[in-house]
Amino acid sequence: MTYAIDTSVIMAILLDEPGRDVAARRVSGAVLNSVNLAEIITKCIEMAVPPEVAKAYIRDSNIEVAPFDAELAVAAGDLFKVAKKGVLSLGDRACIATAIRLNATALTADRVWSTLDLPCPVELIR
């Protein structure tokens, strides 16, 4: 099974949060959108985690970073219609759009995703 992973998945691993074990078992060979990578680096800086730790984990886990191209940008924009304003961030929609493109499962810690009518499967890490 292919996974498109959300920012929350990597942060759960790096911060040793609930769901870490499930996340760690799923990420090898998964796909991470470049928008989510930007979010991860930002969150690391906010939480005083050296961004190099995140970059090394992503590299060592064989996680592919997918570019946020024009087609994904349009798909992510269209996903705004799926939920009320503010429910899905741009990063959320970038991950979901990546999952749709790849016929993959979106992996997240964000429970609200499982309540939405998304055109891809969603798996929660906690």
Residue 14 dihedral angles phi and psi, to the nearest 5°: -65, -35
Question: Could you give the C-alpha distances from 22 to 9, 30, 121, in angstroms and in order?
Answer: 9, 13, 17
pLDDT in tens, 35-65: 999 999 999 999 999 999 999 999 999 999 9
Question: What confidence tier does 1 reach under pLDDT thresholds 50, 70, 90?
Answer: confident
> What token pair was written down for 66?
């997918």
Q: Does domain 3-124 have CATH number 3.40.50.1100?
A: no
* Nearest in space to 58 (alpha carbons), one of 74, 38, 75, 72: 38
pTM over 0.85: yes
pLDDT in tens, 79-107: 999 988 889 999 999 999 999 999 999 99
Domain residue limits, the chain: 3-124
